[in-house]
Amino acid sequence: MCIGGAQRDLLLEDGQAIKSCETYKYLAMYISSSGTLDYAIKERNNQGRKAITMLNTLLWDEKITIRNKHLTYNTIIKSIVTYSSEVWPLKERTMRTLEATEMDFWRRAAGRLRTERVPNEVIRTTMKVGHTISDEIRTKQLKWYGHVQRMEEQQLPKQILTWTPTGRRKRGRPRKSWREGIDREIQWRPMEIGNRTTSEDVLKTDRYIYSEGWVLMVSEET
């Protein structure tokens, strides 16, 4: 596979050829020749949909408590859908798709059909859902960003984060990048000035992300 270039087979010294491919699965994540993660995100969402279908009987069971349905969502559905989401560029269409999958779970858990046209807000209130899956993914991304920022400069993730590509980009509007989403979240979330990395009381109550003298608070998701 060649990312962003012409595809060609790889010839080995013994004459054997490894055929090129458009997508490649590595550690349960799809790598695409286009260099985007659209296909990988779509596959994670599809896996979540399949899991919801398999849990259908359990979700409609009124004898199962809301707490246990939350445990089911957190341990199975959320784990499947948000796997590797720390590095996803979140487009509006992507967030709508993921939230639709999330609401499919909670609507079944609440015992409501889509034909009943019960608003999502009512379903969330009934099932005591405080955060959307998009909110949780953004929080995971901020935590990962803070983790990379605290790395040593010679470590590869830190070098990739601070790397500036050379050359000229193609014409047209550039794709929305992961870093743009992080910068927007940093502007939106509450921030404080100062270095409080050694404060034990802070570490016990909140997670913080340190970047260029700023302390960005990321409240724990429950």
Between 204 and 120, name the one with better pLDDT: 120
pLDDT number for residue 38: 85
Residue 25 has pLDDT above 70, yes or no: yes
pLDDT number for residue 188: 75
pLDDT number for residue 28: 73
Burial class (CB in 10 A: 0-12, 13-18, 19+), 144: middle
Residue 206 has pLDDT above 80, yes or no: no
Mean pLDDT over residues 61-67, rounded? 94
DSSP state of 205: H
Output the average pLDDT for the chain. 80
The DSSP element (H or E) to which 43 belongs, if any, is helix 38-54
pLDDT number for residue 148: 87
pLDDT number for residue 196: 47
pLDDT number for residue 195: 47
Do 80 and 49 meet the contact criterion of CB atoms below 8 Å apart?
no
Secondary structure class of 66 (helix, strand, coil): helix
Residue 58 has pLDDT above 90, yes or no: yes
Between 200 and 162, name the one with better pLDDT: 162
Between 90 and 30, name the one with better pLDDT: 90
Beta partners for 25?
Answer: 30
Per residue in 121-154, pLDDT tens?
999 999 999 889 999 999 898 888 888 888 888 8
Per residue in 174-205, pLDDT tens?
677 788 888 888 777 665 544 444 344 433 43
Round to whole Å and give the CA distance between 80 and 91.
Answer: 19
Which tokens sit at 45? 């969402």
Round to whole Å and give the CA distance between 23 and 29.
Answer: 10
Length of the chain equals 222
In terms of Cα–Cα distance, which of 47, 51, 60, 45 is closest to 112?
60
pLDDT number for residue 163: 79
Round to whole Å and give the CA distance between 48 and 38.
Answer: 16
Residue 30 has pLDDT above 50, yes or no: yes
